[in-house]
Amino acid sequence: MGRMSGKVVFITGAARGQGRAHAVRVAEEGGHVIAVDICADIPTNSYPMATREDLAETASLVEKHGGQAVTRVADVRDRAALSAAIDEGVARFGRLDGVVAQAGICPLGTTEPEAFIDAIAVDFNGVFNTIDVALPQLTRGASVVATGSTAALIPGTLDSAAKGSGGLGYSWAKRAVASLVHDLAVVLAPKGIRVNGVHPTNCNTPLLHNDAMYKTFRPDLAEPTLEDVLPSMPHMTATGIPYVEPEDVADMVLFLLSDESKNVTGMQMRVDAGGYVKRRPQQPAF
């Protein structure tokens, strides 16, 4: 019996990166997934998004690890598309036990206002839409997990228009996700539904490995490579590693989805190798 035996989880941004890692981890523990992704590029986002082939590969990996997957191409900005995906999944599996609002973008390298809007529309509105359309299917014991960002919680990282409008929108959205988690946990607690946030540091996914992101680490170089930026990346952690792996975040997400965390709600769970406390050394607020 796995820790997710028989449970069904709705995961956005599931075609690759962290979303795929969450889907595979659920399957490894006996669960099934409803997996969606936009599978199309967003013009203000400089790096390419996942593809339909990536989403199909996620489904294949879920099945390889013993789970079943319902996949659908859906943009988290489109509530109707999200609703249709959930309806299809619940029709097949008969239940919904968890939600992972994972889909996100980080449109760096531009000062265009549209990048600010797109970042918020995907990274906050998308999270809100995901939770909203899933909520009618959730019952006592269900778990909602929303992905934030350690970088967004640390002042002086991306929270400046001087560093680009998209980065500012990303930072705003991820801080808003943390606030949503805090208050929604209180609202849903009487119904026995838990809500928690997960805030990764740099993570080994395409959101980190792209030219615009590399430029934020080495603005002194015209075209920095991974080799150029690797010495700078450990600045974001306390342990000296440059980034965490998607599977590291998936372990935390699995805990929050499972019954092991049945009394855990309203938490901001950082998977950041100490990056936040390294920069915020004051005593915790009690």
Active site residues: 170
Token match 């986002």: residue?
Answer: 45
Residues 6+ apart with CB under 8 A from 215: 108, 109, 221, 224
Contact at 8 Å (CB) between 145 and 188? Answer: no
Beta bridge partners of 8: 32
CA distance 185 to 182: 6
Q: Is 95 exposed, middle or buried (0-12, 13-18, 19+ CB in 10 A)?
A: middle
* DSSP percent split of the chain into helix, strand, coil, nearest 5: 45, 15, 40
CA distance 193 to 142: 5
HEC states along 30-72?
A: CCEEEEEECCCCCCCCCCCCCCHHHHHHHHHHHHHCCCCEEEE
Q: What are phi and psi of 11, to 5 degrees?
A: -125, 125
Contact at 8 Å (CB) between 79 and 128? Answer: no
Residues 6+ apart with CB under 8 A from 190: none
Beta bridge partners of 195: 144
State the number of CA atoms in the 13 A half-sphere of 242 facing the CB. Answer: 14
